[in-house]
Structure 1
Amino acid sequence: MSYTVIFIDTTGIQNYIFSSNRLRENIGASYLVSAATGKWVRETLEKELNIPEDKQTEPIENSNYDAELVYGDGGNALLIFKEKKAASKFSKILSKRVLLEAAGLNLLIANCEFDWYGEKKLYQLVKELITDRIERQKHERSLSVPLLGLGVTATCNSNLLPAVASSDKYIRYDDDEQEKSYLISTETKHKLIAAPKANEKLEKLLARVINSKCNYKSDYKSTSGYHFNFYQFPYRTDNLGRSEGESSYAAVIHADGNGMGKRFQNYGEGRENRDYIIAMRKFSQSIKKAGENALIAVIKTIINSLSEGQVVGKQAKFSLKRNNLPFRPLIYGGDDTTFVCEGRLGLELAALYLQELEKQPVADGIKLTACAGICVVKTHYPFARAYSISEVLCQEAKKFVKNERELEPEGFSALDWHLAASGLIGTIKDIRQREYQENSGNLNMRPLRLQQNANEWRTWEGFTQVLTQFYKDKK
């Protein structure tokens, strides 16, 4: 029985999401990446191929429908079609929607014929699609060189592409969201349109948590239709709780699971086709659930602290306008997570997220560990640059874990950070070489492992104990 297998991937995600220094645009871009391989895939199957959403995971070998969705979300998707014609139709419709509603997002699609009862198993075919065709597309594809406008063309304030409109047409302003209208390109327009949808998705996920505590009432009604007694997710870094004259910093946190690609491969290795599909779907869903649960736990901690007149145990002054939370998730629902928060909360919330992630059960039965990079900068510091640094810091933490692999084969969670009181000149390596090196040695104790270890002094618990003692001695 011959089928057509399609693997969908996105490339240049980080640049697409974080190319702008406006948080609202980052929020919309993140939603579009998720939608392109998740919601839009399911909607295309339902509207164009007449496959109801609740029937999209039916076993294709026994199904009356033309396709089966193995998994789809977070930047990639895997589908099986009975006929090449249906697969081609699906690819064209999805690609067109991305072009029309997510300008600037690069979609990669690889497909091949597959004999269900042949010698080659599905897990082998998927591995080839990813490692050979998709990776080759990323390196060999012809880069788009669009006309960037003529001499009289106005440019977008965010990405310098030709402007097509002004921002005020796509932003619902209120007293605390006032911002001067600026010129936007088609790509920026699509991101602004998607931003409220991103909040709607997040509000639905966290509706019960956000409504779990309420001390006073507000007239605010969310875009999703949920009535929130208070608390909403901010669209601007200015509304994360900075207090003018006291503290005006924002933290960008990027967390990524350890060795997840290898774990997916190992979990599917050697399985028969149907067993492989079930296993991959189960594993993918468990990872998504783990990320969401860890995020919900962080939100609960913040809300509980706010109800007690503090913010995560801190008595410092926080200016939370219109009941905005001092926290905003950007990428979530898996092992790869990015969020921003008020600068003073960055380290604690990153450590809390990693701790909660480790508690979550995963389908393969192995403890889920991750690394996080935290960059704390001035509130108006270029957001794209801050994210880039947090990503590098996350990689530094991963290198630390890798170097300890012989002693701890299962790995562990770790975090690294950088606090920038002003601007940043050079790479993290350059900065640490310049500011933390003395003749006596290295003065930098980062990265830190998350959990206490008898053979290692560089731990989060050890660091917080030393910091607490400093505060006691100061008093």
Structure 2
Amino acid sequence: MTEYVLTAIDTTRIQDYIFGSNRLAENIGGSELVEMATHQWVYEALPPNNNVDAATGKLDSKHTIDTLDAEVLYAGGGNTVILFKTFDLARTFASQLTRRVLKNAPGLELVIAHRRFDWAQDSLAQIVSTTLSIDLARKKQNRAFSTPLLGLGVTVPCASTGLVASRIVEKKPVSLEIRAKSSESVQDRSLDRLKAKLPKIQQDNWEIPRDFDDLGRIKGEESYIAVVHADGNGIGKRVQAIASCYSTPRQNRDYIEAIRDFSQSLERAATTALSSVVNLMADAFIADPALASHHRERFPLRPIVFGGDDVTFVCQARYGLSLAVRYLEAFEEATQNEPAFGGKPAYACAGIAIVKTHYPFARAYRLSEQLCRSAKQMLKQKQIEDSAMDWHVAMSGITGSLEAIRQREYSVKQGLLHMRPLLLRDSEVSWRTWTVFKTLLDEFIREDSEWFDRRNKVKALREALRQGPDAVTDFLSTYQLDALPKVGTINVAGYEKTGWAGDRCIYFDAIEMMDLFTDVQRMVSNSVTADGV
């Protein structure tokens, strides 16, 4: 019998840990500590005889558990999975790792599960699945919840977390958790990792933002940011498919190679997609020096979570939709080019929360997550394989669920004012697509359009849409218009006369986004065309 131990590592309450602060630098620091705790610190806690280059994180496939004390199967998708020669080695590893997390990343919670198995008799694919779906889940449910000591005697609460402050930093009381996130070493490491993975972000020595105000806020003006959260579709099903293909003990090594290749391919594809977003914004800066000057050479985009199919970045609000679309397009392209995906692209969904710069960031992030889920639910309901997106503009506070907000703010007698969520590309199943929205938006913001710079007419149309089809007909008569802008892909009779397709308004979303959208892709393509001429 050849017995090994499988160890799986996961984190809990990760969103609260990363996004619980209203300071961008602290969110960035939290993300970097999570990255370190699930990668670098894991590798450094392994017994010396392992298959990982701790400096680069590269896995050596030539050396396997039969000649090692520990073999990392993969690190990605929020989990790290490792084989150990003995249970004592696994327990020593867990002790060293958790001690380091407690010391260097206060507030971050790890969950670790171990499972013994017989390499010759047990299916490793099944062991991994059981450990992740049952053992880790049971550990999370049964763990003793941490109850932080909120103070004895005279104490001062942390400005960011409300926990007991341990030091005054920049005239603000901060807790151990915030001290760790804000430390110079963690911030520098985060910046170095960002530059290494996304090199164009520093091409012309632009300042990389460490504060939300650096994303494009102009003093004296009301400013908005976009919180973009994107997540791959059906990644879990692909992992299950790999497990099904290598489900016998004789295929254990083949399973390791397949799941490792897939994990690495997914990470490369997501990084390539995010790099495409950064490159697009950088190209816009290069194409339009006035734009860079407007932003005072501060790059108006900052990735917070990246390295897997779960990506979060913040940017100046006007670029949010355009950059989110580019991420979805690039993710499809990158996965299709990865061998582990077998030539079949993976799709993704994105949620974009557009909020005031100093809006509570944790709420903004939760809204972006809800919007991403909304897009996924639409795909599931319509049984469509595609990418999709949803967004919300929060002019004031956000109370209640996304469904409640839309019922309150976008529901009228005729139906719903919004067409969101949208499919990324044209479809025979639905007219609610990015192409339709973008075509209509262009009609309102294009300089040669009859709607451009005619705010009174647009405002009147918006109010007419709220009142229903009859009010839109009256509006057209009042302004002596034959019809509203048309889109060839909308197969709904008479929509250009009423503004509605059944119980969905067609034009409201475009009007709402008029002042909050810049077509970054068009800006870059126009510059390329001009240079070519």
Determine if the TM-score, normalized by the shorter chain, exceeds 0.5.
yes
With structure 1 as the length reference, what TM-score do the two structures score? 0.87
**1:210, distance to aligned residue in structure 2 (A):** 3.8
Do structure 1's residue 196 and structure 2's residue 172 form an aligned pair? no
1:432 aligns with 2:406: yes
Partner of 1:130: 132
Shift of 1:242: 2.0
- Once the two structures are superposed, the pairs formed by residues 274-293 of structure 1 within 5 Å of their partners are 274-293=253-272
Count of equivalent residues: 434
> Whose radius of gyration is greater, 1 or 2?
2
Letter of the 2:443 counterpart: Q
Shift of 1:375: 0.6
Q: Is the 8 A contact 1:28 1:196 kept in 2?
A: no
**Alignment counterpart, residue 466 of structure 1, candidates 422, 440, 458:** 440
The CA deviation at 1:473 is 2.4
Q: Is the 8 A contact 1:369 1:413 kept in 2?
A: yes
In 1, distance between residues paired with 2:364 and 2:322?
18
One-letter amino acid of the counterpart of residue 60, structure 1: T
Q: Structure 1 residue 44: deviation in Å?
A: 1.9
Of 419, 422, 425, 2:396 maps to 422
Q: Who is 2:81 aligned against?
A: 78
Secondary structure (helix, strand or coil) at the match of 2:341 reads: coil
Give the conservation status (yes or no) of the 8 Å contact 1:371–1:415. yes
- Distance verdict in 2 for CA 1:211–1:127, change over 3 Å: same
Distance 1:467 1:242, change over 3 A: same
More helix by share: 2
Q: Indicate the residue corresponding to 1:231 in structure 2.
A: 206
Compute the displacement of 1:195 (Å). 2.4
Matched, 1:116 2:119: yes
1:106 aligns with 2:109: yes
Measured at CA, do residues 279 and 52 of structure 1 come closer, stay the same or move farther in structure 2, by a change above 3 Å?
closer
Root-mean-square deviation (CA), in Å?
1.9
Following superposition, the deviation at residue 137 of structure 1 comes to 1.3
Is the contact made by 2:50 and 2:70 (CA closer than 8 Å) also made in structure 1? Answer: no
Name the stretch that deviates more: 362-371 or 388-397.
362-371
Of residues 19-28 and 65-74 in structure 1, the stretch that sits farther from structure 2 once superposed is 65-74
Letter in 1 for 2:216: G
Cα displacement (A) at 1:270? 3.6
Q: Distance in 2 between matches of 1:74 and 1:155?
A: 34
**Which residue in the other structure is 1:273 paired with?**
252
Task: Name the SS of the counterpart of 1:86 in structure 2.
Answer: helix
Kindly provide the amino acid, as one letter, of the partner of residue 6 in structure 2: V
Looking at structure 1, the residues matched to 179 and 314 of structure 2 have their Cα atoms a distance apart, in angstroms, of 22
Q: Is the 8 A contact 1:7 1:78 kept in 2?
A: yes
Deviation at 1:55, TM superposition (A): 6.7
Alignment of 1:210-359 (within 5 A): 210=201, 212=203, 214=204, 230-271=205-246, 272-309=251-288, 319-321=294-296, 323-359=297-333
Rounded Cα–Cα distance in structure 1 between residues aligned with 2:293 and 2:437: 24
d(CA) in 1 for partners of 2:372, 2:380: 12
Distance in 1 between the 2:131 and 2:77 partners? 18
Deviation at 1:232, TM superposition (A): 3.4
Q: What is the match of residue 158 of structure 1? A: 160
How far does residue 74 in structure 1 lie from its aligned partner after superposition?
5.3
The answer to whether the 8 Å contact 2:28/2:304 transfers is yes
Letter in structure 2 aligned against 1:253: V
Letter in 1 for 2:17: Y
Q: What is the rounded CA distance, in whole Å, between the counterparts of 1:425 and 1:238 in structure 2?
A: 24
Residue identity opposite 1:92 in structure 2: S
Q: Within 5 A, what are the aligned runs for 1:353-432?
A: 353-360=327-334, 361-362=337-338, 363-365=340-342, 366-405=344-383, 408=384, 411-432=385-406
Aligned to 1:26: 27
Kindly tell me: are residues 331 and 359 of structure 1, through their superposed partners in 2, closer, same or farther at Cα, counting changes over 3 Å?
same
Q: Contact (CA 8 Å) 1:45, 1:52: kept in 2 or not?
A: no
User: Given residue 97 of structure 1, which amino acid in structure 2 is its aligned partner?
Assistant: R
**Residue type of the partner of 1:187?**
E
Deviates more, 1:259-268 or 1:16-25: 259-268
> 1:152 is paired with a residue of what secondary structure?
coil
Unaligned 5+ segments in structure 1 are: 169-180, 215-229
| Higher mean C-alpha deviation, range 15-24 or range 37-46 | 37-46
Q: Could you tell me whether the CA contact under 8 Å between 2:391 and 2:420 is conserved in 1?
A: yes
Q: Whole-Å Cα distance in 2 between the matches of residues 235 and 345 of structure 1?
A: 18
- Distance between the aligned counterparts of 2:330 and 2:93, measured in 1? 38
SS in 2 for 1:9: strand
Does the Cα contact within 8 Å between 1:74 and 1:333 map onto a contact in 2?
Answer: no
SS at match of 1:376: strand
Offset at 1:21? 1.1
For 1:62 and 1:147, locate their aligned partners in 2 and report how far apart those are by CA, in whole Å.
46
Shift of 1:282: 0.3
Aligned residue identity for 1:17: I
SS state at 2:450 partner? helix
Contact 2:10 2:111 in 1 (8 A): yes
Of stretches 450-459 and 290-299 in structure 1, the one that deviates more from structure 2 is 450-459
State the secondary structure of the residue aligned to 1:441: coil
Counterpart residue number, 1:224: none
SS of alignment partner, residue 425 of structure 1: coil
